[in-house]
Amino acid sequence: MTLLTPTDTVPAGFELPEFHARLRDEVRDFADTVVAPAAYEYDTKRELPYDIIRAMGDMGLFGLPIPEEYGGRGRDYLALCLAVEQLARADQSIAVTLEAGVGLGMMPILRSGTEAQKREWLPLLASGHALGAFGLTEAEAGSDAAGTRTTAVLEDGQWVINGSKQFITNSGSEITRLVTVTAVTGESRHPDGSVKKELTAILVPVPIDGFVAHPAYDKVGWHTSDTHPLTFTDVRVPEENILGARGRGFANFLQTLDEGRVAFAALCTGAAQGCLEEAVRYAGERRVFGRAIGDNQHIAFTLARMQARVHTARLAYYDAAIKIVKGQPFKTEASIAKLVGSEAAMANARDATQIFGGYGFLNASPVARHYRDSKILEIGEGTSEVQLGVIARGLGFSAL
């Protein structure tokens, strides 16, 4: 496929330049001809389709926002978002494998890693022949980092890691080679007597002694996505595997999470678009009482609302992605895009299933898969309530 060149410019407003539009169309074609025909089979088997992941790697999708000197394609963040959106139309599980593989597996290293870490890990992960994961969430810690219980103690030049993580994407696949883990590496006491945990991010190559990826979760949706609970028992890695400064693990991850929400919003938009396309097709083909059901005002108006949601969600993530590319603040815009996009995906999945009627209740139907998959979009990478809190704080309110 033809990809962007480093000399290409950032979009003006919301009109995609020719190179972004070309990338979008090429990934869309791949999604329609390769991903979609296999989606039901892999969803039923609950298997990550390694042949499709390798093909995506060969297309350069995993390396889109990674500089060429580290084995990537040297493109911009909007390019990644466009690819994620098109894949999500056909299969959200495949889209989130790309989104998490880049946003959580590679971007923390690109943003906070040493030169040696970048050269060791980014070319491998950018190839798409290996996956990286980020272990943040625990049973009592996710949005609340203070609840983190996983620890890392420095002994004889090595970090000794003990603890557990849950809901970690890309963490137990056959090609998972890296899990970055946040761990408590110390504590600091404030003058008022309160104690603050020192959280640090540490690179853990896998497989490694003491690391266990437990059996994959039996999830409502995203059946093809690789998601596991993890345990670390006296896992030892070199001291230099620290990612960024000691004690800055959660702060650095928040920056990565803000970026990730924009790509996640693109995934939401793709899911909403996929539901719209399926519903429009079916409403034109399905005939009742001698005419297409789409000619009934209620169905037509439902489709119109679905289109409005997609359009709004797309503009929201375009806005945030363009701000990233231009180096402008985007935290609030990222949360708006994620909130609007996830609500659009869930609402469109519900409406599309209703339009399909009984056929929408069959697992072989793409809209049924979107219906099961889309709920997690309002939860993953920051719940809707978290996004509302971020937006409210941007308006000057504590929102406690």
> Can you tell me which residue has the tokens 């790309």?
98
Residue 193, token pair as written in the block:
């007597």
Query: Which among 92, 114, 96, 115 has a CA at the least distance from the CA of 105?
Result: 96
Cβ-based burial of 325 (10 A; exposed 0-12, middle 13-18, buried ≥19):
middle
- In DSSP notation, 287-299 reads EETTEEGGGSHHH
Annotated catalytic sites, by residue?
Answer: 381
- Do 211 and 259 contact (CB within 8 A), yes or no? no
Q: Could you tell me the CA-to-CA distances from 114 to 133, 244, 245, 254 in Å, in that order?
A: 18, 7, 10, 19
CA atoms within 13 A on the CB side of 295: 8
Question: Is 364:400 a contact under the CB 8 Å cutoff?
Answer: no
* Token output for 373: 């998959």
Residue 326 tokens read as 């231009």
Name, in order, each residue with C-beta under 8 angstroms of 157's C-beta and a sequence gap of 6 or more: 238, 239
Residue 16 gets which letter from DSSP? P
Residue 127 in contact with residue 63, Cβ under 8 Å? Answer: yes
